[in-house]
Structure 1
Amino acid sequence: MQAITITQDSEPVQLNDIPKPKISGDECLVKLSASALNRRDQWIREGMYPGIVFGTALGSDGCGVVEEGSADWIGKTVIINPNVDWGDDPDVQSDTYSVLGMPTNGTLAAYIKVPAHRLHKKPDHLSDEEAAALPLAGLTAFRATIKKGASKAGKRVLVTGAGGGVSQFAIAFAVASGAEVYVTSGSQEKIEKVKKVGVTDGFNYREEKWFKAAGALGGFDSIIDSAGGNQLNNYLKIIKPAGRIVMYGSTAGHPEKLDVFRLFWSQAQIMGSTMGSDDEFEEMIEWVNKCQIKPTIDKVYSLDDYLDAFDRFKAPDSFGKIVIRF
């Protein structure tokens, strides 16, 4: 079968033929119809991810039809929980935790085998491409925004980097929660786009004093951030007393310094967040169904154009999730 694998070639991501998986025990065989890329796939391509196993099929997100396995699932269109061994502690993943697509074969393949308990019915209001974009980014955003950020009616929430796939879900969940939602972006066009889906306004982080306009609102109850870097001190200037800064990524790297005085005097909380538990995955799907949440799709590519799909991460105008159709 065809699969997009990680190799040691000059172009690490290659479309190769690998053996079709054979199921056993409680496993099901899913024929993928669509798979979505995540930033981690590009990081693996660039050699910036720990524990790379060459020859592995990449991809954590997918939608498809069950062809073999449990009679309860055969013929049904499903999405896959990408967690592998979260563990029993709802607050933190286990020492053996990993995500589908590295080190085990993932969803950028014609077929994948997974235990039946990883399967969930595709939300009826989503196309296969939209459903494929949901699992990893949706779970990450749900935990960061709803569970850790405590977004709800009466709260003011700032979501940073409005063009990313996870941030788009964070915006959607925050809006659905009834919160007053703002964003940051380096593009006014992207700010205008998210205002159409319920965002109140946005701030251009390329402007040196953007945080002054944000602070004039009276502060934020929570800030949902994927960048880190030197903006962290700006967040401390605009977070409300005892507010929550939830960080699920570090695309801007480490801050050069931290305003510790402002941190402790404001009683602010800086919270890390990674993926989410299996229970939170089920809760996330319930929200998606109840609130009719749809992923923002940047572009859908054919399998033959897979390298263009990966390269799309570098485009400054990318907005939402990148999907490959099988």
Structure 2
Amino acid sequence: MKAIVHAEKDGFDGLSLCEVEEKTPKAGEVRVKLKAAGLNHRDLFVVLNRHKHTDPPLIVGSDGAGVVDAIGEGVTSVKIGDEVMINPSLGWKEKSDAPPVGFDILGHPTDGTFSEKIVVPAENVVTKPAYLTWEEAGVLSLAALTAYRALFTRGKVQSGMKVLIPGIGSGVATFMLQFAKAAGATVYVTSRSKEKGEKALEIGADKAIDSNGDWDMELNGEKMDLIIDCVGAATINKSLKQLRQGGTIVTFGSSTGDMIQLNLREFFYGQFNLLGSTMGSGEEYKEMIAFMEKYQIRPVVDQVFPLEQYKEAFSRLETGKQLGKIGFYIG
């Protein structure tokens, strides 16, 4: 079968589309013939930083959807022919304060979804909602689960809240915008791109402001109940200045740097809450799917490529040209 594999060289030079051996599911596993898959920033980080040429070859990718074509011994929850989406959160079943020991994400260190078929634990597949296209179902899992836990489990978003989402271009951010609006929140977003800001307004944002501008002025002094920040060092202190006393910031990314300087006196006098979040459990994944079905939420799909054009797909994501999710057509 065809797969996008990282091997032999570090960075993008190690990526290639090649033939690999098809696997057979063991007890408790299923094999999915993939229809579509989704590209995430995590895949960039795996290729550029985490997976080395000295490691065994790796099939990249965390998101995917397709049809079950083989099942292992003891599997009764799904059957051959079922249309499913893959939850990439491995070893995290129930909702909890933090993931358990042994938690991992599909696509590193285990083989991922940028292939024609994949074998995963049966507990990691769920029925594809009928209203979603294959491309939509294939790109949503990692970003939507991350957004759902950050907003609901950690941020405890409620109707009437004011929510700020810095950096609206990512797939996670576009899900958070739609989820927060469905929950009844007023949602503000930031972007360096006027085009992305305008698109966010079309999706439902109440206001879009320039990331490089004066947030105090552009928000007319309004303070936020909840801020979900995935940008990192470039925005975290600007975000704190927009938070009401007793408000909450949830952070799950640091694409602009891990280290920040924090004024502790302002922080504790402000009674602020700073929470970390990452991915989510199988329980939250099912809650997220039910929430999406209730409100008929669809991922914002930026562009979908055939596997053969993986270089163009990775380049589009690395340069930040996308708004929403980038995907691959597979079957």
Give me the TM-score of the superposition, normalised by structure 2: 0.93
Whole-angstrom CA distance in 2 between matches of 1:104 and 1:48: 13
Counterpart residue type for residue 42 of structure 1: L
Counterpart residue type for residue 163 of structure 1: G
Query: Displacement of 1:52 after TM fit?
Result: 8.7
The 5 Å alignment of 1:268-287 reads: 268-287=272-291
Q: Check conservation: 1:211, 1:234, Cα contact below 8 A.
A: no
Whole-angstrom CA distance in 1 between matches of 2:231 and 2:281: 23
The equivalent residue for 2:82 is: 76
Query: Displacement of 1:256 after TM fit?
Result: 4.2
Identity %: 37
Whole-angstrom CA distance in 2 between matches of 1:252 and 1:17: 36
Change (3 A) 1:51 1:238: farther
The equivalent residue for 1:14 is: 16
Query: Displacement of 1:175 after TM fit?
Result: 0.8
Q: Unpaired runs of 5+ in structure 1?
A: none
Deviates more, 1:50-59 or 1:183-192: 50-59
The equivalent residue for 2:65 is: 63
The equivalent residue for 2:247 is: 243
Counterpart residue type for residue 117 of structure 2: Y
Q: Which of 141, 152, 156 is the equivalent residue of 1:146?
A: 152
Change (3 A) 1:52 1:87: farther
2:205 corresponds to 1:205: no
The 5 Å alignment of 1:24-173 reads: 24-48=26-50, 53-69=55-71, 70=75, 72-86=78-92, 90-173=96-179
Whole-angstrom CA distance in 2 between matches of 1:162 and 1:52: 36
Counterpart residue type for residue 299 of structure 1: Q
Query: Displacement of 1:126 after TM fit?
Result: 0.7
Change (3 A) 1:316 1:30: closer
Change (3 A) 1:146 1:89: closer
Query: Displacement of 1:314 after TM fit?
Result: 2.7
- SS of structure 1 residue aligned to 2:316: helix
Aligned residues: 324
Q: Render the CA deviation track for 1:91-119: whole Å, top value 9, x for unaligned.
A: 11122111001111111111111121111
Whole-angstrom CA distance in 2 between matches of 1:255 and 1:118: 34
Change (3 A) 1:88 1:179: closer
Whole-angstrom CA distance in 2 between matches of 1:88 and 1:180: 30
Q: Render the CA deviation track for 1:167-212: whole Å, top value 9, x for unaligned.
A: 11111111110100010111121111111122100111112x2234
Q: Unpaired runs of 5+ in structure 2?
A: none
Counterpart residue type for residue 17 of structure 2: L
Q: Which of 164, 179, 182 is the equivalent residue of 2:185?
A: 179
The equivalent residue for 2:219 is: 214
Query: Displacement of 1:252 after TM fit?
Result: 1.1
Query: Displacement of 1:54 after TM fit?
Result: 3.4
The equivalent residue for 2:324 is: 320
Whole-angstrom CA distance in 2 between matches of 1:277 and 1:51: 31
Counterpart residue type for residue 68 of structure 1: A
Whole-angstrom CA distance in 1 between matches of 2:52 and 2:250: 23
Change (3 A) 1:176 1:214: same
Give me the TM-score of the superposition, normalised by structure 1: 0.95
Whole-angstrom CA distance in 1 between matches of 2:224 and 2:54: 39
- Which structure would you say has the larger RCO, counting Cα contacts within 8 Å and 6 or more residues apart? 2
Change (3 A) 1:8 1:47: farther
Whole-angstrom CA distance in 1 between matches of 2:63 and 2:98: 21
Whole-angstrom CA distance in 1 between matches of 2:144 and 2:95: 20
